[in-house]
Structure 1
Amino acid sequence: MRENVLKSFVRDTYKNTSSIPYIITGQVLMFVLIHVFELLSFDEIIAVDLFQWTYQHLSLSNSIKVFIQQPWSLFTHPFIYKGIFNLLFDCLWLYWIGNIFLNFLNNRQLLTVFLGGLFIGGLLYIAIGSFPYFSNPTRYWNTTTFGLAALMSSVMTLVPNLEIRMFFFGNIRLKTIAIIYIGLQFIFLIIEIPAAGVAYLPIACLGGCFIWQLQNGNDWSGLFKKNRRAKHLRVVEGKSIHDLINTKRKHPTDLPNQDLVDQILDKISASGYESLNSHEKEVLFKASKQDE
């Protein structure tokens, strides 16, 4: 019975095209691994402090000299966590905000925002460390904070008026949650790790710029699209959503056309996601999957 439950969990978790379960799995496995190293070092089972060695070589230093010696840290630092609560909350935020993002857009666009925030934020962190005030070669940066900032701001820009029901607080608009989250993170970083704090705000703006450009017809994620012509969002004058549904979709199983998706996104921008009816939500969901 337990085996069946495990198989069912694995199948349900990894059967879809979302990258979120794979990212979280990588973070958890790396967390377990480095803490096994810590246990081995603490018990003096091995002579080398393998935990500290792994932490330093996989985390991101804000020293350009150190980064040149270990350039792979730009790709490994999001998976390094020392504290279990930091890991837990980052995974929860990624799962929650990431799935809201995927309700409207596709997995390729999610990876563009999330990974773009991680890598550009990491490079900014290194560049800012070249200034004497911010330089601290012994201070290492890790976690997915930059990626979450970009993802949070992108969702806030896409559906700012989407209401989330929260315990004790009732319904709260997504833009309020995002502003509080980004604000608190910035204050914490600017106090604890000034170089990361300075890099944080531009990365938070990056996610919003991605959505703004998408709504204006420029899909930055199209750079990573293989063997398919990039589609652009465009405003269709003089046609209602109802007209497009009737004239363009000849069969209920057909994928939605781009004109219809544009109209729905315009409606979200003007009135919020909650203004959509069930059919429009279904169309938007199918559109988010067709380019994956």
Structure 2
Amino acid sequence: MNILDDLKLQYKLGGVAHRLIYWNVACFLISLIFFYGFQTGSFSYPSWVALSTNPADFIFKPWTFLTYAFFHEGFWHLAFNMMVLNFASQLFLTFFTQKQFLGLYVLSAVFAGIVFVASYYFMNISTAIVGASAAIMAILVAVTTYQPLMQVRLLLIGNVKLWHITAVILILDLMQFRTENMGGHISHLAGAFFGFVYIKALQNGSDISVVITRIIDLFANSFRKSPSTPFKKVHKNYSKPVEKRASRIVTKDKVQQQIDEILDKISQSGYDSLTKEEKDFLFKSGK
């Protein structure tokens, strides 16, 4: 029970990156229950979860351009992706906001999915893809484009420049481009390209991630209650007495101050020293 409470606390206090890791792990656990074949030893994802190159699937199930980025083919596939996501997110969030992180993650996943589907459609190959690698590559390449010379300390290696790490990962993708997982590597490179374009656009004053922020804000505002109207009546009833009371107090203070001045003059120089206006004022105020 303590472990569960700790996980809940970390989820609440953690940022968007930690929550994405939780969502990926949760989706993997769900896939073990519903999509894993213990006899075959592999996953069999339905067309409403994985992104398929079959037009009949992705046209009528457009949400798969995003859902595919939350499921994985195996434990090590998940573990490596989450390790790189944790690493890249810490660097990215050093310079950018949580909203920019989420926006880039979602948009890069969709962009990489479109490139994957288009590539295989023109090659006349029918297949499907799952995995968060493309979105993670976008995060890593984005922060590398922004700060390529950042020093990163790696276990057993020491300090290396960030662009060295990113270059090694990209080279490995290119070396495996003609393997069985060609579609995965196409999406990786597409995600990397999107991360590069995102930073260049941001440096030119255009933040592409605001598209996702506005969509989220639109849904969030639709569930908020509009302020109730009775507050207007309270404001009106409260403001009028205050204004009147304030004006009377000010008037009274001015009259009293003038009377006090006249009385001081009488005490010092006598009643005959008063002017006609002062005598008339004192006479009227005494009524």
Give the TM-score, by structure 2 length. Answer: 0.66
Instruction: Choose the corresponding residue for 1:206, options 183, 186, 194.
Output: 194
- 1: CA distance, partners of 2:8 / 2:195: 31
Unaligned 5+ residue runs, structure 2?
A: 216-287
**Per-residue deviation, residues 70-128 of structure 1 (Å, max 9, x unmatched):** 33322211122121001001011111101211111001111222111110110111111
Choose which of 8, 12, 29 in structure 2 pairs with 1:10.
8
| Cα distance change on mapping 1:186 and 1:4 into 2, 3 Å | same
What letter corresponds to residue 31 of structure 1 in structure 2? F
1:135 CA displacement: 3.0
Please state if 1:187 is matched with 2:175.
yes
Please, which moves more after superposition, 119-128 or 201-210? 201-210
User: What SS is found at the alignment partner of 1:130?
Assistant: helix
In the alignment of these two chains, the number of paired residues is 214
Shift of 1:29: 1.7
Tell me how far apart the structure 1 counterparts of residues 188 and 33 of structure 2 sit (CA, whole Å). Answer: 31
- Greater Rg, structure 1 or structure 2? 2
Query: 2:164 & 2:73 partners in 1: Cα distance?
Result: 30
Tell me the equivalent position of 2:25: 28
Q: Does 1:171 align with 2:168?
A: no
Gap runs ≥5 in structure 1: 44-50, 228-292
Deviations 1:138-182 (A, max 9, x none): x22110111112111101011111111112221111110011112
Find the counterpart in structure 2 of residue 74 from structure 1. 65
Query: What per-residue deviation string (whole Å, max 9, x for no partner) do you get for residues 17-50 of structure 1?
Result: x22222222221221222223568759xxxxxxx
- 1:260 corresponds in structure 2 to none
**Aligned with 1:83 (options 74, 77, 81):** 74
Q: Residues of 1 paired with 2:37 and 2:186: CA distance? A: 37
Q: Partners in 2 of 1:92 and 1:165 — Cα distance? A: 15
Summarize the Cα distance change of 1:197–1:37 in structure 2 as closer, same or farther, 3 Å threshold: closer
Which shifted more, 203-212 or 82-91? Answer: 203-212
- Partners of 2:62 and 2:212 lie apart in 1 by 22
Tell me if structure 2 keeps the 8 A contact 1:190–1:196: no
Pairing 1:90-109 to 2, within 5 Å after superposition: 90-109=81-100
Distance in 1 between the 2:44 and 2:74 partners? Answer: 17
Paired residues for 1:1-292 under 5 Å: 3-16=1-14, 18-37=15-34, 42=39, 54-131=45-122, 134-137=123-126, 139-226=127-214
Aligned pair in 2 of structure 1 residues 213, 75: CA closer, same or farther (>3 Å)? Answer: closer
